[in-house]
Amino acid sequence: MTPEFRKLSILIPVFNEAATLAEILRRVRAADTCGLEKEIILVDDCSTDGTAQVIKELPKDGNLKTVTHPYNRGKGAAVRTALEQATGDIILIQDADLEYDPRDYPKLLAPILDGRADVVYGSRFTGGTHRVLLFWHYLANRFLTLLSNMVCNLNLTDMETCYKVFKRSCLQGITLRAERFGIEPELTAKLARRRYRFYETDINYAGRDYTEGKKIGWKDGLAALWFIFRYRFFD
């Protein structure tokens, strides 16, 4: 760890994840952050399934901040709310659904800590173990990544990944606007436009299907087509 980096802010947007929230928080608290102080910011996006009660019962310590939206706004809005509370030198986005494994944090942090990268994405498609799921969902992810790469001049393999890690300084002067899953192409486009150094690393992925609570759907995929162009050229 260099003197430049002392604290990691882990942003956890939450909507209707009562069944998994306590476990993901346990895993995040246990994760190796390469010597960085850990700050966890949990934003409940007006859940309706008992998530609020789970949050009340979570072990409290000085490293955990919780915020609740008065009405449902979407993942992008929850990420923005968490960013307003973050004080870390490095930002990491973590979903609350157990699809992504906090034991991958050292791999995600290493390229930033050793000075190679400003931004690191965890790719579900370059290695690691992953659950075999729906072909058309996979194909949609690859198509959106290809389109994003074309307009941003990048060669990512997984633009839609949850695991996005970046120096806090990368967001200075950037206004984020996406409310829902458009936050993924928005962050990619606006960080790429500033020519930050991107790295990818393989991660483990235990994807859910829709019967298990997966929320992103085909409408979000169609919306992403517009967001890729909007946030690269018009915002």
Q: Which two tokens stand for residue 193?
A: 């436009």
What whole-number distance in Å separates Cα of residue 34 and Cα of residue 56?
29
- 192-214 residue pLDDT tens: 999 999 999 999 998 756 555 55
Q: How confident is the model at residue 218, as a pLDDT?
A: 61
Alpha carbon 163 to chain centroid, angstroms: 4
Indicate the pairing of strand 164-167 with strand 119-123. antiparallel
Overall average pLDDT of the 1-29 stretch? 92
User: Domain coordinates of the chain in residue numbers?
Assistant: 7-234
Q: Can you tell me the distance from the alpha carbon of 72 to that of 75, in angstroms, rounded to the nearest whole number?
A: 9
Q: CA torsion sign, 171 to 43 to 77 to 203?
A: positive
% of residues, the chain, pLDDT over 90: 74
Q: Quick check: 63 and 170 in contact, CB under 8 A?
A: no
Q: What share of the chain is helix, strand, coil (3-state, %, to 5)?
A: 40, 20, 45
Q: DSSP state, 223?
A: H
Token pair 């949050």 is found at 55
Backbone angles phi, psi at 35, to 5 degrees: 85, -5
pLDDT digits (tens, 9 = 90+) for 85-96: 999 999 999 999
User: Which tokens sit at 123?
Assistant: 């790719």
Lowest mean pLDDT among 22-26, 166-170, 176-180: 176-180
- Report pLDDT for 60: 81
Mean pLDDT on 21-44: 97
Distance CA 137, CA 170 (A): 30
User: Would you state the CATH architecture of domain 7-234?
Assistant: Alpha-Beta Complex (3.90)
Q: Which two tokens stand for residue 116?
A: 């190679």
CA-based nearest residue to 86, from 185, 165, 188: 165
